[in-house]
C-alpha cells in the first residue's frame, strides 16, 4: 500500500463515515474527496506537508500555507469550518479553540528594545498596505456598531465618539493616547472636543503618518506625536484624561503593574482613563503554548500576551485607579474583522504588490481566524473606565452611564455629594 493510500485510509477513519466537504490534492496531480460536495481544496505540493497533516501539526501546516507549499482554496468561512473540524478529529491536534482562546501564553521579557522590534514587525509593513483595508482614519482596533449594518468608516467614527463621551472630554483638556497608532482618535478628539493631546507610538511609519495628517488638518498646535515608549513619558499629574486602545496586548502580563502605575503617575487627581484591549477567555492564563499559538507569535504579533479581564481590573485597582465601568465589545470585534478581511480580499492584487503574497496570506487567514475566535467567545475585548481619586479620596464621576450615549451629557461636570454638604 502506497503512502497516499495509507494516508487516505487514516484520514477517512478519523473523519468518520460522513467525512468532511474537503478535497485533498497531491503533489502528483491526483486528488481525492474526503466527503460529498467538497467546498475546500487542500493542495499538498510536497510529501513533507502530509506528515504535518497526519500529525495534527497546526504550526507546520500554517508555515506551509504562508510559504506557498500548502494551497487552500474555498470561501474563508468554509475554510475555517473545515479546518476546525479537521484539527479536532485528526492526529494529536488540540481543539482550535484551545489554540486561539489564550492566543499568546508564553512569558516574554518585554524590554524597550524588544517591544520596539515587535511593534515594527507588525505595524511597519507599509502604510499603503494597511490603507487598502482599514477605514479612512487608519484605525487598527475594534470598531463600534449600533446596528451591525454600518460600513467600517462609520463604525470606527462611532468608536471614537463612544470613547470621547466616556472620557467626558472638554475643550482645553490635556489628553494622552498611549499606543496612538496612526493618530485617528487624537485627531477626532481635537477636532470635535477641542482638546490638546500627546500620542506615543513605537512604530516609525505610524509616527510619520500621524504627524503628517496632523499638519494637514491644521492641528499642529494642539497635538504632539512622539516616537516613544510609554515607560519613558516624563512627569507627574500631567494629563486630565488618558486613553489607550489596543495597547496592553503588547505590554506583557508581567508589566501590567508598571503599565498602570505609569498611567496613575501621569493622570491628574480626579482624571479619567479608558483602557481598550483584547483579553483571553482563559481565567487561568496558562503558561504552555498549544498548537496554533506559534503561528501568531512567529508571523503576526511577536511577544504578544493577553491578560484575563480579572487581571486587568486587579492590576489597575492595585495602582490606585478606581474602575467604575466595564464594557465587553466582543461581537463588535468579530464584525470589524469580517469587514477587514472582505476589504483585503477585494484588494488582493494591490496587497500582494505592496506587501508580498506571504504577507497577504498571513493577514487574510489570521484575521479570519480571529473573527471566528471572537464570534465563539474564545477571545474577548473590554473597555475599562477608571478614575484617579484626589487627595481626599474623592473620585468624581456621573451618577449614570447616560453620558456615554447622549452627547450633551458627556461634557457635564460631575458634582459628587460630599459629607460636608449634608
Strand partners, 21: none
Which among 122, 129, 217 has a CA at the least distance from the CA of 179?
Answer: 122
Give me the pLDDT at residue 333, please: 96
pLDDT number for residue 299: 61
> Which cell numbers hold the place of 141?
482596533
Q: Please report, for residues 104, 248, 251, the alpha-carbon distance to residue 305 in angstroms, rounded to integers and kept in the order given.
A: 5, 8, 8
Positions of the chain with pLDDT under 50 = 92-110, 113-116, 118-123, 287-292, 417-418, 420-422
pLDDT for the residue 106:
45
Q: Where are the domains of the chain?
A: 3-93, 112-405
Distance set, CA 268 to CA 149, 199, 264 (Å): 39, 17, 8
| Distance separating the N- and C-terminal Cα atoms of the chain | 90
The pLDDT of residue 205: 92
Do the Cβ atoms of 297 and 303 come closer than 8 Å?
yes
Cα dihedral value 39, 43, 49, 54, nearest 10: 30
Cβ-contact 207, 236 below 8 angstroms: no
- Measuring CA to CA, which residue among 255, 259, 253 is closest to residue 275? 259
What is the rounded distance in angstroms from the CA atom of residue 63 to the CA atom of residue 134?
A: 26
Beta-sheet strand order (sheet of 70-73): 31-33, 22-25, 40-44, 70-73
* DSSP string over 217-250: TT-TTTEEEEE--GGG---SS-EEEEEEES-HHH
H or E stretch at 66? helix 58-67
**What's the confidence (pLDDT) of residue 290?**
36
CA triplet 134, 377, 300: central angle to 5 degrees? 45
Any catalytic annotation for residue 142?
Answer: no
Architecture of the 112-405 domain: 3-Layer(aba) Sandwich (3.40)
User: What is the CATH architecture assignment of 3-93?
Assistant: 2-Layer Sandwich (3.30)
Q: What is the pLDDT of residue 49?
A: 87
pTM of the shown model: 0.84
- Give the model's pLDDT for residue 116: 46
Catalytic residue among 142, 164, 180, 370: 370
Amino acid at each position: 500500500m502506497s503512502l497516499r493510500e495509507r494516508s487516505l485510509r487514516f484520514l477517512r477513519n478519523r473523519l468518520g463515515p460522513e467525512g468532511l466537504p474537503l478535497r485533498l490534492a497531491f503533489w502528483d496531480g491526483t486528488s481525492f474527496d474526503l466527503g460529498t460536495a467538497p467546498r475546500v481544496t487542500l493542495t499538498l505540493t510536497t510529501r513533507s506537508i502530509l506528515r504535518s497533516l497526519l500529525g495534527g501539526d497546526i504550526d507546520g501546516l500554517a508555515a506551509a500555507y504562508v510559504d506557498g507549499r500548502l494551497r487552500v482554496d474555498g470561501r474563508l468561512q468554509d475554510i475555517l469550518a473545515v479546518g476546525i473540524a479537521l484539527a479536532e478529529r485528526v492526529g494529536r491536534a488540540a481543539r482550535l479553540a484551545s489554540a486561539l482562546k489564550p492566543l499568546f501564553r508564553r512569558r516574554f521579557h518585554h524590554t524597550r528594545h524588544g517591544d520596539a522590534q515587535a511593534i515594527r514587525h507588525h505595524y511597519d509593513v507599509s502604510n499603503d498596505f494597511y490603507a487598502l483595508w482599514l477605514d479612512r482614519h487608519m484605525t487598527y482596533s475594534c470598531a463600534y456598531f449600533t446596528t451591525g449594518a454600518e460600513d467600517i468608516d462609520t463604525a470606527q467614527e462611532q468608536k471614537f465618539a463612544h470613547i470621547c463621551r466616556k472620557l467626558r472630554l472638554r475643550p482645553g483638556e490635556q489628553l494622552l493616547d498611549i499606543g496612538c497608532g496612526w493618530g485617528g482618535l487624537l485627531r477626532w478628539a481635537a477636532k470635535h472636543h477641542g482638546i490638546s493631546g500627546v500620542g506615543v507610538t513605537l512604530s516609525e511609519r505610524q509616527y510619520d503618518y500621524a504627524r503628517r495628517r496632523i499638519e494637514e488638518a491644521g492641528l499642529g498646535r494642539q497635538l504632539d506625536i512622539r516616537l516613544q515608549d510609554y515607560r519613558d513619558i516624563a512627569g507627574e499629574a500631567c494629563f486630565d484624561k488618558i486613553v489607550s486602545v489596543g495597547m496592553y496586548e503588547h505590554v506583557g502580563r508581567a508589566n501590567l503593574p508598571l503599565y498602570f502605575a505609569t498611567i496613575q503617575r501621569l493622570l491628574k487627581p480626579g482624571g479619567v482613563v479608558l483602557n481598550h484591549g483584547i483579553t483571553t477567555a482563559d481565567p487561568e492564563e496558562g503558561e504552555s503554548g498549544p498548537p496554533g499559538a506559534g503561528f501568531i507569535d512567529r508571523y503576526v504579533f511577536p511577544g504578544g500576551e493577553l491578560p484575563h479581564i480579572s487581571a486587568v481590573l486587579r492590576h489597575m485597582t492595585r495602582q490606585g485607579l478606581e474602575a467604575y465601568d466595564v464594557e465587553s465589545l466582543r461581537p463588535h470585534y468579530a464584525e470589524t474583522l469580517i469587514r477587514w478581511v472582505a476589504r483585503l480580499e477585494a484588494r488582493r492584487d494591490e496587497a500582494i504588490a505592496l506587501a508580498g503574497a506571504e504577507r497577504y496570506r498571513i493577514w487574510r487567514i489570521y484575521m479570519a481566524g480571529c473573527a471566528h475566535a471572537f464570534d465563539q467567545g474564545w477571545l474577548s475585548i473590554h473597555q475599562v473606565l477608571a478614575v484617579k481619586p484626589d487627595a481626599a479620596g474623592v473620585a468624581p464621576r456621573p451618577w449614570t452611564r447616560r453620558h456615554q450615549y447622549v452627547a450633551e451629557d458627556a461634557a457635564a461636570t460631575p458634582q459628587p455629594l460630599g459629607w460636608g454638604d449634608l
